[in-house]
Structure 1
Amino acid sequence: MIRFVAIFLLAACSAGTPHFRDLPAKRVAVNGSVFDVRVRGHLAEAVRVNTQYAPRLGPIRQRAGLAMMQVSGCPILDVLGDAAVTVGVLGCDREAGEKLLLAAISRRNYECINFGRSEDLGYDLFECSPY
């Protein structure tokens, strides 16, 4: 019984916030952080699912933005949240397939290399660095 409750609670941790809860998640790893990413409309949510010792929002914010960019295919205009759950504003209209003019705001550009799907872990692995 205790094992069932523990599994249920762990599964609920990455269920997503109410706005994203009914959407399937795509699990990706970016520079050592693992996220469940969901996209709805012009917003994306990244829930960090791996344990990391005392993460600050700074590096997690950047990694979460890169994870949301990889899943949505859109530049991310802004990322808000904390070290566990972040929400990003997409810089494109996914339905029309167009980038928004706001995405042209000067931001640091990143190059991400997809190392493919880890069969052991069950999610995509990315390494990203500024260029």
Structure 2
Amino acid sequence: YKAVELAEQILGSLAGRRAALLGLAFKPNTDDVREAVSLKIIDRLLAAGCSVVVYDPAAVENVRRIYGERVDYAKSAVECIDKAHFCIVATEWDEFRRLEPNDFIKRMKHPIVIDGRRVFDPKLFSKALVYSGIGLGPVS
């Protein structure tokens, strides 16, 4: 999955890294995780040796039933990114759009955002931190 590949390109090995995953549902405003790309991302991150913390406004309990204690569950987006080495955005919830570059800079070990849903303004975010928007190509 492209988001995990981008994280590996930026950081090298992901073993021992803390990954924040924002968004679990297959689309916003639902708790449905069937066929959700987030599950495939979690599997890849765990296989790479990451510790994974996840947050979604609606779908956390459905993911907890699948992964149990193999991942950590945050109560908010800002709690999810706290002390993470990188963040992947997998669902375009409106709540995530309110996050600013400084939220990531202040809380993360490495402010690296891989925006799989193009939630954030690429020009604003790429000026402030390491930002990659899937499907955007290089941001200038």
User: If the length of structure 2 is used for normalisation, what is the TM-score?
Assistant: 0.25
Q: Which has the higher helix share?
A: 2
Q: Which has the higher strand share?
A: 1
Higher relative contact order (CA 8 A, sep 6+): 2
